Amino acid sequence: MALYAAEVEAGTELPAIVGALQEFAEEEERRLDDEHREKLKAAQAAERLALERRFLSGADCKWTPLEGSKALFMRKNGRAFRLTPTKEKRWELHRIEEATEAGDLLGIYATRSAANKVIDKIAYETEVR
C-alpha cells in the first residue's frame, strides 16, 4: 500500500499497476513452463522404466535402453536382440538370450533402420540352434 500511495502522489499509479501485472504474468508463465517441463521429465522417466521392465519381463517391445548401457535392446516374436553403437558410428546387431550375455553377432549395419529390416525378416523365421 505504501508503494501505491507513493505512485498516486507521483501520478503514475496506472503505469505502476500495469508493470506489476506484467511482472506477475511473466513469473506465472515461467512457473507454469517449469512445472510442464518437470511433468514431461517425470513422464519420460516413467515410460523409460516401463519399457525396461517390459523387456526384462520377456514381453515383445521396441528398442529399449537399459540403465547403464549404451546398447539398445528389442524383443520381437519372443527373441531378444541387442544393438550396440561402434566407434565407427555403425551398429552391431546381436541375438541374445539375456541382456547380460554377449550373444551371437548377426551383422554390422550403417543405420538402425537397416538393422530393423533384418530383424523384421529373421524374427519370424525358424531358428536353428
What is residue 128's predicted lDDT score, i.e. its pLDDT? 62
Q: What is the pLDDT of residues 2-34, one digit of tens each?
A: 777 777 777 777 777 778 889 999 999 999 999
Q: Model-level pTM?
A: 0.68
d(CA 112, CA 93): 9
d(CA 33, CA 36): 5
Average pLDDT for residues 30-49, to the nearest whole number?
95
What is residue 43's predicted lDDT score, i.e. its pLDDT? 96
Q: Is the pLDDT of residue 107 over 70?
A: yes
Sign, CA dihedral 48-49-54-56, equals positive
